[in-house]
Amino acid sequence: RRARRQAQAGAAPPAPPRLAAARALSVLGAVEWAPKIALLLSAGDALTQSIALSALRVLRVRTGESRIVELIERGHALVVAPAMEAAAAIGLREAIPAIRTRLRHPDRRTRARAAVALVDLGDDAGVPPILETGEHLDSLNALRCPATWGKLDSIPLRAAARGTPRRLLDMIASESG
C-alpha cells in the first residue's frame, strides 16, 4: 500500500531490501560482504545486477570475476557499463577481450566507457578512441609516464583533437596544474 501511495504522490518506490543493503554495505566499506553481494550478479533483473556491480566497484574486491566478464559480453544494456567499470576498478585484466569488443558498440557512450575501462586496466587499445573523440581526456592522466610517450606519438589523431597526443596531454597538464 505504501508503495502505491508513494507512486500516486509522485515519489519513487523504495528500493527492495537486498538492493538497499548492497548499497549500504558498499558505502560502509564492508569488504567481508563482497562475496554475498557478488551473488546478486546472478539475479535475473538488470537493476539488481547494476547495483551489485556498483557496490563491487566501490569495494574493489575481486569476486564474481567470471560473471562480470559474462555481463560485459552478454549482459543487458543497463549492466554493461557498470560491469566494465567494476572490472576496471578491481583490476580484472581477464575482461580486456570482452571490453575491447565494446569499442565497436553502436552507442557512443558505451564505446567511451569501454575506452576508459581499457585505459584504467593498462590496455593501450583504449587510448585512440579517447584521443579521437576528445572525451574523457582526464582518463589519460595515467599514461603520462615517459615510457608511454612513444606509443602516444604513433597514434593518429582526428582534426578534433588537433596536434600530437603529447601536445594534447601537455595542454591538459598545464590546465590542471
What tens digit of pLDDT does each residue of 14-66 get? 556 666 666 666 666 677 878 888 888 887 788 888 888 988 888 888 888 99
The answer to whether the predicted template modeling score (pTM) of the entire model surpasses 0.85 is no
Measure CA 129 to chain center: 15
Contact 40, 18 (CB under 8 A): yes
CA atoms of 127 and 116, how far apart (whole Å) = 8
CA atoms of 153 and 114, how far apart (whole Å) = 22
